[in-house]
Amino acid sequence: MAPPSARRCSRLCLRLVLILLVLSTMLVLLSTVVFLLNPSSALSWALGSPQQVLAPAPDPGAYGGTSDCHCDDKGRQGQWNILYHLGGNSPWIQKIDDVVEGGFDPPKGCAVDMIHMMSRHGERYPTVNAGARMIKLLERVKAAGTPLKGSLEFLNEWKYFSETPGDHFEQLTTTGPYSGILQAFSTGVKLSTRYRHLMNFNDSAPPTYLWAGDVTRVVDTARYFSTGFFGLNSKHAKVIPVSEAADLGGNTLTPGETCLNNNLDIIKGHDNGYTQLYKFQSSYLPTISQRLLLENPTLEFTPSEIYSMQELCGFETLVRGSSPWCSVFTPAEWDSFEYARDVIHYYRSGPGNPYSRAMGWLWLNATTNLLVEGPMRAGPMYFSFVHDGDIVPLLSALGLFNDAHDLPVTHVEARRKWKTSQVTPMGGRIILERMTCGDDEQYVRINVNDGIVALDGCDSGPGKSCPLERFKEYVEKSGKEAGDFREVCGLGKDAEEGIRFLRQPGYGGYEQ
């Protein structure tokens, strides 16, 4: 039989083991919760060189209105962050330039009583076309059979981030800290916490509709968001896929598909975005090609291949959390890539496209009418899920981020307002908030990726918000200047002139 001292030691050791086990379990649970709520802050992934550190995406507190990003007095991040230079190919990031000070909490004496969100789908794999270019580039490098040196030396061992690319193209990413399904879910959790006071938990209440363009990645985003916002298999929510067919006229979430003139006009319409992109690419890509040729004289890359390399940085990051491709290029070269992405959006579906405002006005007009009706008559929450090419026209209709002149394609316009990296990243969102302040006065506030943005000429309300009646007049004026959607887009008078489906069940005017 063991002496008493040995038995006491044994009991003490057992207690210590149990305590350590409990603490370890609690730590794992806490880490899981933190990761689900904010994966970009929970994990930090380093790149190959100091200036290209992939810092966690700055994200405001999920429950409050203050930001945790460290910015200097110019509104820029103190540390250079590549996520702000990927032109929409990055995971979700907070807008930090040209925003109203004070965070996104409602101003003192105000309360949000209605929200309308338009969101891009979550983080995804490359499109079929972009992905095919990447695969073709990698096959050519492999066929050359020459060991690479310098900044591309990693390619000697590197493997593409999908073993079956064809199965993954255009679908949400499912791995890493920037997983598209995780981003959609965690966004739902954060916004559910922020707007929980708008939710109706009455068992007899009809479900809140969430509308999504009828493409797999968009519908999946809406469903994962809904799970985070309302709960798993909640009867309080229903995702409604909306056809992206070209014959729907104005009754659509994706007007770029239905605006005939936009698609046929190769001079000023959709395709002009690519024309202007190619012009700008010729101003910076050949120089990079020459630099890489010095490192590997037997392998010369075309400008298109260089551009694919830059795209690989963002898309691998969305899957793995980081990418050695990001270290191949200098900060100045990333500035050029960012600008190239701005150029294509500006001329393809933004202010540089004459059809853009009419396309963006459809959703803006329908939403404004609902804001005027108010939450009691129209319902307090509206969620629409689309593509970046559908959000950009909304910016045109609102007149946000307009520059005095069209973007040049001979050089980077460093002082431009038009920066899509902070507006349409993966999961990028615009929320129009209706606020009631003081003596029952209503205002509209614009939240772009958790940065409050003032509307030029209509920011006299609390926190640079716009008085609701003035906002209505602003939108009506924008509509007159944009022109009738059917006429601008070359559609017949029998085509739908606007959105009819955007209405919550259980409220006046709802159509099944």
Rg of the chain's alpha carbons, rounded to an integer? 25
Long-range contacts of 131-139 (CB under 8 A, 24+ apart): 131/165, 131/169, 133/304, 133/305, 133/308, 134/160, 134/308, 134/311, 134/312, 134/315, 135/160, 135/165, 137/301, 137/305, 137/308, 137/309
- Neighbouring residues of 288: CB distance < 8 A, sequence distance ≥ 6: 306, 329, 333
Cα torsion at 157, 161, 164, 168 (round to 10°)?
-170
Residue 202 to residue 209: CA distance in whole angstroms: 16
- The CA distance from 224 to 231, in Å, is 10
Nearest partner of 360 among 221, 211, 479, judged by Cα: 479
Angle at which helix 180-194 crosses helix 4-37, to 10 degrees, equals 90
| First-to-last C-alpha distance (Å) of the chain | 81
Phi, psi of 161 (to 5 degrees): -85, 15
Report the distance separating Cα 390 and Cα 257, nearest Å. Answer: 10
Residue 25 in tokens: 């379990």
405 in active site: no
In angstroms, the CA 213 to CA 384 distance is 8
Tokens of 48: 């190959």
* Residues 429 and 386 sit within 8 Å (Cβ to Cβ): no
Q: Are 374 and 434 in contact (CB under 8 A)?
A: yes
The Cα 224–Cα 238 span in angstroms is 12
Alpha carbons 183 and 152: distance in angstroms, whole number: 31
The one catalytic residue in 388, 390, 450, 459 is 388
Secondary structure (3-state) at 14: helix
Catalytic annotation present for 121:
yes
CB of 253 closer than 8 Å to CB of 211: yes
- From residue 279, give the alpha-carbon distance in Å to each of 275, 283, 284: 6, 7, 10
**Catalytic pick among 85, 121, 168, 387:** 121
Could you tell me which of 29, 7, 11 has the C-alpha nearest to residue 19? 11
If DSSP states are collapsed to H, E and C, what string results for 38-104? Answer: CHHHHCCECCCCHHHCECCCCCCCCCCCCCCCCECCCCCECCCCHHHHCCCCCCCCCCCCCCCCCCC
Measured at the CA of 20, the angle between CA 15 and CA 21, to 5 degrees, comes to: 95
- Beta strands of 412-494 (E only): which ranges? 429-437, 441-448, 451-453, 466-467
Kindly list the catalytic residues: 121, 388
